[in-house]
Structure 1
Amino acid sequence: MERVSTLERAIRTVLIVLVLVFFLFPIFWIVLMSFQNNDQILRIPPSILFEPTLANYTTLLTGKLQTTAGNLDIAFLKNLGNSLLLSTGSVILSLILGVPAAYAFARFKFRLGENIAFTLLSFRFAPPLLVLLPLSLYFKQLGLTDSYFGLIWIYQLICLPLILWIVRGYFEDVSPDIEHAYRVAGHSWWTTFRKIAIPLARPGIAAAGLLAFIFAWNNFVFALILASADKQPVTVGALAFVTASGIQYGQIAAAIVLSVMPTLLLALYAQRYLVEGLSLGAVKG
């Protein structure tokens, strides 16, 4: 039995290592590419031995891209700031709208409640191209085209359904008896919601906000169609490295590394909320 147990552990360890290599190797290769020039990246066969360079990161920070056709101005840092503004603004607005709505769907039963909730969730499933044409026409009539407010508002199609359904599940896992006892003590509904319900569901709210931020950060189509280069996020701004003289793979790799850092740092900071959120339902009842 001991030999079988040792063999099982060895097989499990090998399988875990293989899975980690499979998923992490592309990230490792992108990091390597960010320190190489195009000649090193495109050589055959590829090699992990090379003379590293910081030219790709220098190009992103200075905004000057040197190509065979001349120098081009890029606004990567501006695009990075746009991504931060759009993602943060959309998540904050989604939390303001979605958390009370999630609580209402979890605690109160009303006519067509499930149908309304599923309709909101269907916005998340709908392909962006399905709504882009009418949205572009409405935005033009309302004067929201090429505006931060318009983009933040349209990002609700990404963030709001996600936050609504995830947070609703966490509110349902919290026993309503605690809230009833607090209400019996003479406190209002708003006070109960603010001081009891939200703190108990805080891990779920944090987890939903983090996931919504990542989805908003990675959005490409909405900003590509509804915003100009001055207000486009980093996902669209990376197209600047596809030039007439060729594709700048090194700059693209460096841009990927820098664009991933905010969401990675946020995930590392909020991981304790994710763990608490996953274990929230385990103590129910």
Structure 2
Amino acid sequence: MMEHSIETAKQRNRLKEAARETGRNLGLVLYALYALFPLIWMLICTFKSDTEMYNTVFIFRPTLANYQAVLLGTDYVRAFFQNMIVSGGAVLLTVVAGVPAAYALARYDFRKKDDIAFQILSFKFAPEIMVILPIFLIFQKIGLYDTYFGLIWVYQLITMPLLIWVVRGYFEDISVEVEQAASLDGYCWYEVFLKTLLPLIKPGLVASGLLAFIFAWNSFTFPLILSGFRIQTLTITSLRYISSETVHYGQVAVAATVAVLPEIVACLFIQKHLVRGLSFGAVKG
């Protein structure tokens, strides 16, 4: 009799645990649908015609006319690759110049080091509209207006401050004895930096590099003023689907959907580094 009661209690506990597990999974599914609903809705709008945009919700006649108009009828594809060149080049220059700067701010003691670090960070907080006019005049005088290098250079104002501060926190958390031990093993200074320090700061470097790419990819003010007919990024090209007479919401949805794909793909590939990279290194300094 007692063994039967014990078995019944175990079955009851297993049912309760299964019910709790099902409830947790259902809650996660509902939260995922809630979080992804804007993307799902934007994807649905890409298959709607302008006449059905307001009249229907989920039941409509799908069409590929919006994709044809965006991907075949305009310069959107060219702008996509130009945006990739500018954003990728900006991140590459940020990493090459920003990592040594972060190391110097973390390791060396010199006058007003903290003031310089804060000044670098303040560039990220300053509104772009404050500096765009003098930059525009300077670029026209030195021939950088409507060039790849001009946009890549000016994008450092929005990409480099974040990377320097995140990576600086990682360098500060690495003990100096690690570098000294590597030097005793026969490594020269650049081998210590490349083979010992860079692997240790990889999570922070990847996370800050991804955010720098997102900031550069989504930039609007700088390419609006500093680019012309030769170079146009996605944020500028997408304005073609908005006119004073009407807004082609289906085409806008296609442009937005294609524009977020590189960011989503990059996040999926490096997601294991994001949580540690953003929560660990960024709180230092």
Same fold? TM cut 0.5? yes
Please give the alpha-carbon distance, in whole angstroms, between the structure 1 residues aligned to 2:146 and 2:58: 43
Which residue is equivalent to 2:5? none
1:30 to 39, 42, 63: 42
Which residue is equivalent to 2:61? 51
Please give the alpha-carbon distance, in whole angstroms, between the structure 2 residues aligned to 1:217 and 1:108: 33
| Percent identical | 42
Please give the alpha-carbon distance, in whole angstroms, between the structure 2 residues aligned to 1:272 and 1:13: 22
How far apart are residue 158 of structure 1 and its match? 0.8
Task: Give the alignment's Cα RMSD to 1 decimal.
Answer: 2.5
Structure 2: gaps (5+ residues): 1-12
SS of 1:231's equivalent in the other structure is coil
Please give the alpha-carbon distance, in whole angstroms, between the structure 1 residues aligned to 2:229 and 2:237: 7
How far apart are residue 42 of structure 1 and its match? 2.2
Q: Tell me which structure has the larger Cα radius of gyration.
A: 2
Structure 1: gaps (5+ residues): 64-73
Q: Confirm or deny: 8 A CA contact 1:61 1:76 kept in the other structure.
A: yes
Which residue is equivalent to 1:194? 194
With normalisation by structure 1, the TM-score equals: 0.86
Change (3 A) 1:130 1:279: closer
Change (3 A) 1:278 1:219: closer
Please give the alpha-carbon distance, in whole angstroms, between the structure 1 residues aligned to 2:184 and 2:245: 72
The count of aligned residue pairs is 269
More moved, 111-120 vs 9-18? 9-18
Q: Confirm or deny: 8 A CA contact 1:229 1:237 kept in the other structure.
A: no
Which residue is equivalent to 2:134? 134
Change (3 A) 1:279 1:227: closer
The residue correspondences of 1:75-94 to structure 2 (distance < 5 A) are 75-94=75-94
Q: Confirm or deny: 8 A CA contact 2:242 2:248 kept in the other structure.
A: yes
Deviations 1:151-187 (A, max 9, x none): 0000000111011011111222222211111123343
**2:70 maps to amino acid:** L
Change (3 A) 1:273 1:194: same
Q: Confirm or deny: 8 A CA contact 1:99 1:167 kept in the other structure.
A: yes
| Residues 1:122 and 2:112 aligned together | no
The residue correspondences of 1:1-285 to structure 2 (distance < 5 A) are 19-43=31-55, 46-63=56-73, 74-243=74-243, 245-275=245-275, 277=277
SS of 1:52's equivalent in the other structure is coil
Deviations 1:77-110 (A, max 9, x none): 1111111011000000000000011111111222
Which residue is equivalent to 1:67? none
SS of 1:246's equivalent in the other structure is coil
Q: Confirm or deny: 8 A CA contact 2:76 2:237 kept in the other structure.
A: yes
With normalisation by structure 2, the TM-score equals: 0.86
How far apart are residue 12 of structure 1 and its match? 6.7
Q: Larger strand proportion, structure 1 or 2?
A: 1
How far apart are residue 229 of structure 1 and its match? 3.7
